[in-house]
Amino acid sequence: MDKIAKVTYEYQLLRYRHDVASGEFVNIGLVYFDPQTGFLRTRMTEKYSRLSHFYGQISGEFLLKSLKALQRTFSDLGKKIIDKQLIFNHIEQVTTTILPKDDNTLFFAESSKGFHFDHHKAFESLYERLIGQYSKETTEPRHDDHYAWTKIYKQYFDEQKITKCLKLHQIKTQSDVIDFDHAVKNGIWHCVQPLSFDLKKKQDIKDKIYRWSGLVNELQTVEETHHIYLMLLMPSDEQLCNLIQQKLTIKQSNLEVTVVTEQDAGDCAYKLKKKLSYL
């Protein structure tokens, strides 16, 4: 089968900062850019209920007008980029043209990079995960493991046409049986496990981390070789993200557990496809 071309992108989050001294902020907009093709897309939140929840009374009408003005400015800039009137090599050149770096209430976070097989899908996924779910702009329930698979990660395996190969696999350890719903064997077992740490309470996140850490330790008692891919929705807390990496990543002779975030999901699915020589 022909290899599906990957497209690279950069993105920045627009943030609202009510008090510079406190360091607290809320994500309220997304700018997405592909320097190779000039593809530029932006979206700003259309509701300020989440800001009111955090900061009490704010000038919502003024904020929304400011965001709409920013949206129009980015749209005009995007047209000039497509027409080759302006050329930018990376996203921060774009965003600082519109909103210079300073101590304003509105500011852009540091840029991040990723790749996908479709710019529009990548943009929608990023916006929903980083902004939409928190601002109540969607009717999706709180994200769980099922959501992590059906709404985020399954599409990458669909694009590689390997979803149909994934099936239930039970791993018998010394003291338990652990089920994986999405697994395939080619020499060794490859198990794809979606996990959401997008939970409301910090303690619930920690409990889930340690529960899965225990399962990972139990899997080390199995003689047959397995590679487990944990497809994660990560928490916003950096310390918890580090804890996840520390507790759930392992590489031994009979067991490898890899933590995968959405940024790496396309590459993970592609590499798994390459390992399945019978496809």
Q: Which tens digits make up the pLDDT trace of 237-266?
A: 889 999 999 999 999 989 999 999 988 999
So what's the pLDDT on residue 159? 92
Q: Which tens digits make up the pLDDT trace of 166-187?
A: 999 999 998 888 999 999 999 9
Q: Is the entire prediction scored with pTM above 0.85?
A: no
Q: What is the DSSP letter of 180?
A: E
CATH class as words, domain 145-275: alpha beta
Residues forming CATH 3.40.1350 domain(s) in the chain: 145-275
Token pair recorded at residue 164: 């149909």
As a whole number of Å, the CA-based R_g of the chain is: 21
pLDDT(52) > 60: no
Q: Which tens digits make up the pLDDT trace of 116-132?
A: 888 888 898 888 888 87
CA neighbor of 279 nearest in space, from 140, 135, 164, 141: 164
Cα–chain-centroid distance for residue 171? 28
Q: Residue ranges of the alpha helices (H) in 137-221?
A: 145-147, 154-159, 202-219
E strands along 84-147, which residues?
A: 106-108, 112-116
Q: Residues 269, 156: contact at Cβ < 8 Å?
A: yes
Q: Residue ranges of the alpha helices (H) in 1-152?
A: 49-55, 60-82, 91-98, 119-127, 145-147
Distance CA 71, CA 68 (A): 5
